[in-house]
């Protein structure tokens, strides 16, 4: 009971540990440090990253072994690849402080939560999360508290989660600069993300792969540069994200392929009216969003 209350007391009374100092973990550390938690600890396997983190003084202490900080932390943020989140939770199952609140930042949720809920200690509260922020370069060296400014954050709570913990996380993410925190089921999250994040990456990669030579550079305007931007991708992470959300992503790719095919048909048929209708429809659909 005491632990539950402590999580409502505010960040200044909490010990926070961030596991994994990549782009998101490093940025989380930099952002949360500004909120002045009671203690902020960070953990990374890579000794060079730990050196950088120490030099940048992102935390009160930098660890290679998570055991010690886990035992004292009220809040643990896992900034690891999806499968690594599950592996970490299983491996360090017994190391967490009683009643700790745990969250992650990985880009797929359904299969991950199903996996975790098999072995998660009943006293721990794992709330899935996904910051809709990032950039085309990665790693701790590119971390910055400012990457979260104005972005969306998705939480994917389940019936297992405590309401006050969901609220606490929502407020925390608003406090570090996110513009909006939304709750969605893990299934709905994965379906939406296939369209809004994974499909644009598929497109970007496929467009970049159309480059036949560097001769085109003189012919490049803003759109081509923008549209291939995220082709500079962390291949290991994104292959895992794609494969773990395969059915949803294949579904969205096929919807996109149908739209391309429809536009191509209007072009082949020299059907100016259909072409203009297809364009106008796209413009209208986007206008509703932005």
- Quote the distance between the C-alpha of residue 124 and its chain's center: 22
- Least distance (Å) between residue 248 CB and its own copies: 11
204: left (phi over 0), alpha (psi -120 to 50) or beta: alpha
Binding of residue 106 to its own copies (CB under 8 A): no
The per-residue DSSP string of 61-127 comes to EEESSSHHHHHH-SEEEE-S-HHHHHHHHHHTTTTSPTT-EEEE--S--HHHHHHHHHH--TT-EEE
Member of 12, 36, 118, 222 binding its own copies (CB under 8 A): 222
In the window 125-184, what residues touch its own copies (CB under 8 A)? Answer: 132-135, 151-152, 154, 180, 182, 184
Query: H/E element holding 6?
Result: helix 2-6
Binding of residue 226 to its own copies (CB under 8 A): yes
Select from 12, 57, 24 the least CA-distant residue to 148. 24
Helix then strand count (H, E) for the chain reads: 13, 8
**Residue range at the interface with its own copies (CB under 8 A); choices 13-21, 69-77, 169-177, 230-238:** 230-238
Binding of residue 231 to its own copies (CB under 8 A): yes
In the window 71-100, what residues touch its own copies (CB under 8 A)? Answer: none
In the window 250-279, what residues touch its own copies (CB under 8 A)? Answer: 250, 252-253, 255-257, 259-260, 263-264, 267-268, 270, 272, 275-276, 278-279
- Least distance (Å) between residue 272 CB and its own copies: 5
């Amino acid at each position: 009971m005491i632990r539950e209350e402590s999580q409502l007391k505010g960040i200044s009374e909490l010990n926070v540990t961030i596991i994994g100092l990549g782009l998101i973990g490093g940025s989380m550390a930099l952002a949360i440090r500004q909120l002045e938690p009671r203690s902020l600890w960070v953990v990374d396997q890579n000794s060079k990253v730990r050196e950088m983190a120490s030099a940048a003084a992102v935390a009160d202490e930098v660890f290679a072994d998570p055991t010690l900080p886990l035992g004292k932390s009220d809040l643990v943020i896992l900034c690891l690849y999806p499968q690594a989140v599950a592996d970490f939770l299983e491996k360090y199952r017994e190391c967490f402080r009683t009643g700790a609140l745990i969250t992650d930042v990985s880009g797929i949720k359904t299969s991950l939560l199903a996996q975790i809920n098999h072995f998660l200690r009943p006293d721990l509260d794992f709330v899935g999360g996904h910051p809709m922020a990032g950039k085309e370069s990665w790693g701790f060296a590119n971390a910055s508290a400012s990457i979260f400014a104005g972005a969306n954050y998705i939480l994917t709570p389940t019936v297992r989660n405590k309401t006050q913990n969901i609220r606490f996380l929502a407020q925390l993410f608003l406090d570090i600069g996110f513009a909006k925190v939304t709750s969605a089921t893990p299934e709905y999250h994965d379906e939406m993300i296939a369209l809004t994040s994974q499909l644009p990456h598929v497109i970007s990669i496929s467009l970049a792969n159309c480059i036949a030579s560097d001769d085109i550079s003189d012919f490049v305007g803003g759109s081509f540069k923008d549209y291939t931007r995220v082709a500079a991708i962390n291949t290991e992470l994104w292959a895992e994200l794609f494969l773990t959300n395969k059915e949803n992503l294949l579904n969205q790719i096929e919807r996109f392929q149908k739209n391309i095919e429809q536009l191509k048909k209007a072009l082949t048929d020299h059907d100016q009216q259909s072409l203009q209708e297809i364009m106008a429809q796209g413009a209208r659909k986007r206008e509703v969003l932005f």
